[in-house]
Structure 1
């Protein structure tokens, strides 16, 4: 809807035009009339207007002078001149000043309305283009963190070595990575050791955001850094000092910062962190190896009370070499992806690899055994956290036992416990998928029965007995179509059927199709079908 302003020094003309336009059915939310250019300018200083319908010859300030001032105040305003002066020079000057059209008095309502329809169409196109640009910009801004995370993951894994330094620089600048990739750096790897224990107070995303926020407080402004979450569930942070100094002094300040971070989160939030500082990577080619060694060291250190801070430059790497040959650790990584996809065959194949290797390796270090258990339990818990379990479901799962490695005393107990727990989780996931399909069917039935009624997302969620965000998400997942788009499509299809009935007026069709606002119905119909309801009715 658009706001239109009229100016003419003849009051009867202003009054007549105002009445005609208010009853025109055009997409006009407001029609205001004035009798001088100065009144128009004062009105435009108070609020925006989309269309100006102006006479040319007026006392004090004529229409041609007015348009110049209007373009200063509101450049997007469309100006249509309506005047009895038909000399070519007026039309020529009006066009030069940016007028949309030039109509000669006397003008019929049909001619005027047709002109304003073209103005409104022009405004619609401009608004749609702006919205499209805004959406693209918003989507880009939303994807930047994901792209930055992918870039940093490639950096840590050595996948950027094939790029020239100039290409790496260009990509890092475009993603706002505040690091000099050709200089020395130190990796910080941070692990949350008591996620399951904290699940009553925080969700996993809340813990992640809290940790990222507190890390920024700990490092800024002394260190420049860029962070991402790696496949092990570690918050990985590449750091460089903001100012040049002795490397040992910088390392001391970095260690102090992360120790204070660990202590603060434990004291204030009850969150236990383990942190590992990598050795100092001397240049870009050394960054991936420094990360690889640090990740291996942290994975081989099972949590201790309150967490710990390790320094790879002083920590022995024997633990990493001692367990590097155990395929079970690799087999049980990222099991949550297999759970969520319902791939039971591959999931249980990987469990079998880990369990069989543990049975065949009586000399397996306890920390490796414990890490296998921890990886499996974390995958199960991470999957369950996305299901919004009922109290009854949660109490039946013995989740506390899964996460407590100290309660598992043998390989057979580990195998039995996690096989049983995994079966329960797969069953819950299947039940949720079935419930989603039933809910979508109920939503579709309710929509079909109430196309002329209230089909707000709130009302639909009440009818389906679930939250609005959840209904919206599962509807899109099950149908591939947004719920609002689905409703609009069905309503317009009904309108198309009703328009074939010659006894029904456009207003009747609109109401029976769920639209109380006829101009809005016309706009939606034309957007979907390509023609107005009036035009479609004639076909």
Structure 2
């Protein structure tokens, strides 16, 4: 569907086009109206506009000037120019502005429909080209380092990526890594020189370290560089000779020793040329898949924390085993997106699905662990409290007496009461915020209808109504249509025609007086709209009544 803006200082012409053209058949679902170029430019900055139909000669800013400003903001918007003058200069300027059509006023409905259809087709083709595979591939090539880094970040963060998706991304992002390749990880932590490791200097420093690492490692290894949330550099490597696990232990030892030597060289070169001290950890080799990368990262981070602490310029081999092998965390509780992130996005179903996974893991792995049960309870109640506080409330206001379980040590010692509390509280929260959303929307509808009733005798544009109730016009338009089944423009039109019919039946006002009372300066325009609604002219309606 498309959005159109009509711009003309002659209000009745704007209203006529807005009300009488067959927008539905043109796949136009949103029509904006502006009675000056200045107003149109203001509207354009706050609304999505695909096509502009504008007069050229207007007081103040001309249509040509308007399109010049529009072109600075958007090259995709299609323009149709109208003018009562047939001078060649206007046509030349229209061509220079890449206008779809240049029509002489008064343009017929057929001419306008034809021009709008052409604009829609050009718009469709343009965006299809933007979304085409060739364009997408070209864009990907231009942003490969960032895309590669983001993919590695997703893997070490535990984002749920299927093997099929990971395999396709590795290929699409031109990475030499494949599933089950033998890989190793280098974790690099900068330890010194805070003046150069913060602010605007940090990206330059990271770039320099990456360049040195690639120069040292790339002769023998394929390199994949990224960063973690702590601003530490993560480098994944794969031996160029073979991506498979070495058969002979001696070969494996050679590969490991070579990598450790290269990592030590990296540490030394960074110190020599960048005047920076870094700690480097080299992991053991592992078969690459979507879970192994995260496990290797977490293990490496743990080893670096335990062995390096706050030390500087330390080198740690992956062969040095961590102080503990088995972790006892509830994995599904800490996999991204985290619980509060589901709440931020309003994804209640996904939030509930994650809770089911957490309790399944808790029941299967840690049913007898009071600490793990309490960990889940506090994590979930923390997410609930976050939601309450973010909306200016206290948790007890939302869940009432159920909050008492948080302070009942006996109840926290078994899974069943905790699980029951979590899902009961979730239902209360969902009900509260769903009802609150419906109440807010109902209030919006009432404000719109009250404003329209109060100012029915004036011109009522979507922009003016949205400004009066302090909402974005696009959001307001969609909410109103969603809740009432008709657009604001249709609602205003229907009320005006109903008011005209009432006045024709119950008053002695002249038709031009009725038109003026409804904000129409041109009685013929009222007659055209009235015939569309009642299949007869105002005079015929009055005679029949």
Give the alignment's TM-score, normalised by structure 2.
0.45
Q: Which structure would you say has the larger RCO, counting Cα contacts within 8 Å and 6 or more residues apart?
A: 2
Give the alignment's TM-score, normalised by structure 1.
0.45
